[in-house]
């Protein structure tokens, strides 16, 4: 039930009755009443003064009096300058609670008929996933889930960067140093094994550079002529020419990485509807570049390379094909975008990519516009800030990144230690405890990352994220377990939560108001592509419950009718917390 719509309709009736003028909805401005004033909804009088031809205060008094007589759901009103503050009756909020309780998919929006693609993850197959990938994956998955709840048909995709010089570096180092080592023989996950040789390549490369410099070669020349780098470059040429030995090695090592990635994705709880591979898509844009050349949108330089001049748009010239005819990332993205819009008739394509690629996506849209496609503006770059640590930034080549698998394991272990210290395990079996530790550790990680607005750079502090008392996943998870504990005890006492029309106290009305805006928060978060809005809403709801729990008696309430109604209220708090946290991919425990 939307109280603002109720007031808009009432004010329209009041203006028609009092001033004999019909007004459109857009003339009626409403908002939640500010906490320092009595009321639930405030109607702004200033836009109506030309119609009433009276002062703001007098207009408010007249419209307020009409509403009081017109609608039994309106209990009282007060006027502060040009603001009409309206209080709704306990019966209205009971009806709102009944509507929430009757809707198992509360917040789910009707079908929009729109198809949206969300691309996220996009890892390289030369190293395991790290903390930055965790933010990308969790953000991408939760945005996709959020858009589904907003009624869109969502396609979740991953573009794996499985080719290029960085992949060849791992392959060269493995050939030189691995002595046939495999994930099985090493006991390492496949992605960790390949990442080990990527770091090793960098170590060998640095060593060769130092040796060349010691022989009198300048640093810049040494960096270009190091033998191991030339081997990697030659291997890339062989790969592009289809050399069987190189391709077989590439398939084997990438296979190890995919198996490793899948284990990490599964533990994170993220998935994809379709996976694209750069090795299969990197040539797609060449045909579009040829079309652009024919139409004079692009131009060819003397060395044979192809460019687009974006100086009139305040940018620079953008390379699309190298002099040797090979494609660049932009060429590929032109091709894959064209392929996807043609295949799926997309209404929107969201790329979840860090903010260091803002320029890339600005150029991508401009190039598509110049190529004359009508969907260029349906591309949306969900630009998110980097994840930093108290120790500073991470560096892949030097092996100083925070590995995703290690971080998840550490979070689960921290959840275990914290739970044991606080004694929050009751009489759980060991299996139940292990399941709870996993739930809490991943809940802490996901919530701490998702609660931050995507556009912001964030500082990840594992210890802070596991706190049971702050704005954290475990706080919300523990709150939910507390609610379910009360409801279990009620069940043991044969108490059936239900609406009884018992009067509501002010705290209960505030909670119902908060529950009631969940659908609006869903819409707002979908529009902003920001699951952070849902995360912080869930925290507010959990906090309200805890205040309520400490202020009122539930199971010990003497009035049977009030007791049953309070049980219904907290049951719906549990339901909305599960729906909201489910959008974030976070599971809430039934008991702790």
Q: pLDDT (tens digit, 9 = 90+) per residue, 502-542?
A: 999 999 999 999 999 999 999 999 999 999 999 999 999 99
**Mean pLDDT within 252-274:** 97
Is-contact 402 411, C-beta < 8 A?
Answer: no
For the sheet containing 306-309, what is the strand order?
A: 299-300, 306-309, 317-321
Count how many residues are written for the chain. 592
**Does the structure show a pLDDT above 80 at 392?**
no
The reported pTM is: 0.92
Rounded percentage of the chain residues whose pLDDT exceeds 90: 89
How many Cβ atoms from other residues are within 10 Å of residue 24's Cβ? 7
**Mean pLDDT within 158-163:** 95
Give residue 421's pLDDT: 86
Q: What is the CATH number of domain 404-583?
A: 1.10.730.10
Of 156 and 131, the structure prediction assigns the larger pLDDT to: 156
- For 133, half-sphere exposure in the C-beta direction (CA atoms, 13 angstrom radius) is 24
**Does the structure show a pLDDT above 50 at 398?**
no
Token pair belonging to 384: 């998110």
| Domain topology for 3-88 | Gyrase A; domain 2 (3.30.1360)
How many Cβ atoms from other residues are within 10 Å of residue 246's Cβ? 20
Element (H, E) at 365: helix 358-370
Element (H, E) at 539: helix 532-551
Q: What is the pLDDT of residues 100-121, one digit of tens each?
A: 999 999 999 999 999 999 999 9
Q: What is the pLDDT of residues 2-46, one digit of tens each?
A: 899 999 999 999 999 999 999 999 999 999 999 899 999 999 999
**Does the structure show a pLDDT above 80 at 393?**
no
Same-fold call for 120-388 versus 404-583: no
- For 59-84, letters b (16+ CB in 10 Å) and e give bbbbbbebbeebbebbbebbbbebbb
- What is the band of 305 on the pLDDT scale with cuts at 50, 70, 90? very high
Give residue 391's pLDDT: 65
**Does the structure show a pLDDT above 70 at 396?**
no
Give residue 389's pLDDT: 74
**Does the structure show a pLDDT above 60 at 236?**
yes
**Mean pLDDT within 227-249:** 95
Token pair belonging to 34: 């500010």
**Does the structure show a pLDDT above 90 at 166?**
yes
Mean pLDDT, the chain, as a whole number?
A: 94
**Mean pLDDT within 75-87:** 96
Rounded percentage of the chain residues whose pLDDT exceeds 70: 98
**Does the structure show a pLDDT above 80 at 390?**
no
CA distance 466 to 464: 6
Element (H, E) at 579: helix 560-583
Domain ranges within the chain, ordered by starting residue: 3-88, 120-388, 404-583
**Does the structure show a pLDDT above 60 at 395?**
no
CA distance 527 to 548: 31
- For 242, half-sphere exposure in the C-beta direction (CA atoms, 13 angstrom radius) is 0
Q: Is 28 exposed, middle or buried (0-12, 13-18, 19+ CB in 10 A)?
A: buried
CATH 3.40.50.720 assigned to 120-388:
no
Q: What is the pLDDT of residues 399-447, one digit of tens each?
A: 457 889 999 999 999 999 988 888 777 788 999 999 999 999 999 999 9
Please tell me what DSSP assigns to residue 48. G
């Amino acid at each position: 039930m939307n109280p603002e719509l109720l007031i808009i309709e009432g004010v329209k009736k009041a203006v028609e009755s009092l001033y004999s003028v019909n007004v459109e909805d857009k003339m009626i401005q409403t908002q939640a009443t500010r906490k320092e004033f009595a009321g639930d909804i405030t109607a702004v009088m200033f836009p109506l003064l030309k119609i009433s031809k009276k002062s703001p205060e007098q207009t408010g008094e007249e419209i307020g009096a009409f509403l009081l007589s017109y609608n039994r759901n309106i209990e009282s009103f007060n006027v502060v300058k040009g603001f009409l503050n309206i209080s709704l009756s306990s019966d209205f909020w009971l009806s709102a609670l009944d509507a929430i309780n009757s809707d198992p998919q509360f917040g789910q929006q009707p079908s929009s008929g729109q198809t949206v693609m969300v691309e996220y993850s996009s890892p390289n197959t030369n190293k395991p996933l790290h903390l930055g990938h965790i933010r990308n994956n969790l953000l991408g998955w939760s945005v996709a889930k959020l858009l589904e709840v907003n009624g869109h048909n969502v396609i979740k995709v991953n573009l794996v960067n499985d080719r290029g010089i960085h992949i060849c570096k791992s392959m060269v180092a493995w050939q030189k140093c691995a002595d046939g080592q495999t994930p099985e023989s090493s006991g390492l996950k496949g992605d960790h094994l390949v990442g080990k040789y990527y770091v090793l390549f960098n170590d060998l490369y640095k060593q060769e550079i130092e040796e060349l410099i010691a022989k009198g070669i300048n640093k810049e020349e040494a960096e270009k002529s190091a033998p191991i780098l030339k081997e990697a470059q030659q291997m890339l040429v062989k790969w592009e020419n289809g050399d069987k030995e190189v391709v077989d090695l590439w398939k084997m090592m990438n296979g190890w990485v995919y198996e490793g990635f899948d284990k990490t994705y599964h533990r994170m709880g993220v998935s994809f509807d379709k996976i694209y591979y750069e090795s299969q898509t990197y040539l797609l844009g060449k045909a579009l570049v040829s079309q652009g050349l024919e139409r004079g949108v692009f131009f060819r330089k003397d060395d044979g390379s192809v460019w687009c001049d974006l100086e009139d748009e305040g940018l620079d010239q953008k390379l699309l094909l190298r002099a040797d005819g090979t494609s660049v990332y932009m060429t590929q993205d032109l091709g894959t975008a064209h392929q996807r819009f043609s295949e799926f008739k997309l209404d929107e394509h969201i790329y979840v990519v860090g903010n260091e690629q803002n320029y890339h996506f600005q150029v991508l849209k401009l190039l598509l516009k110049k190529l004359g496609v009508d969907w260029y503006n349906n591309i949306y770059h969900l630009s998110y800030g980097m994840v930093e640590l108290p120790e500073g930034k991470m560096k892949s080549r030097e092996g100083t990144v925070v590995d995703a698998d290690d971080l998840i394991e550490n979070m689960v272990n921290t959840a275990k230690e914290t739970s044991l210290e606080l004694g929050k395990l009751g009489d759980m079996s060991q299996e139940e405890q292990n399941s709870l530790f996993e739930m809490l550790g991943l809940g802490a990680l996901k919530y701490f990352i998702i609660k931050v607005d995507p556009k912001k750079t964030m500082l990840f502090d594992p210890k802070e994220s596991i706190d049971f008392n702050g704005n954290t996943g475990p706080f919300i998870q523990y709150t939910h377990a507390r609610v379910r504990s009360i409801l279990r005890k009620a069940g043991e006492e044969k108490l059936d939560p239900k609406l009884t029309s018992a009067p509501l106290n002010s705290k209960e009305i505030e909670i119902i108001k908060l529950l009631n805006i969940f659908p609006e928060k869903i819409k707002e978060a979908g529009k902003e592509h920001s699951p952070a809005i849902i995360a912080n809403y869930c925290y507010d709801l959990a906090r309200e419950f805890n205040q309520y729990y400490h202020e009122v008696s539930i199971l010990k309430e003497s009035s049977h009718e009030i007791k049953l109604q309070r049980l219904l209220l907290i049951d719906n708090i549990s339901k909305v917390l599960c729906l909201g946290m489910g959008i974030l991919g976070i599971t809430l425990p039934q008991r702790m």
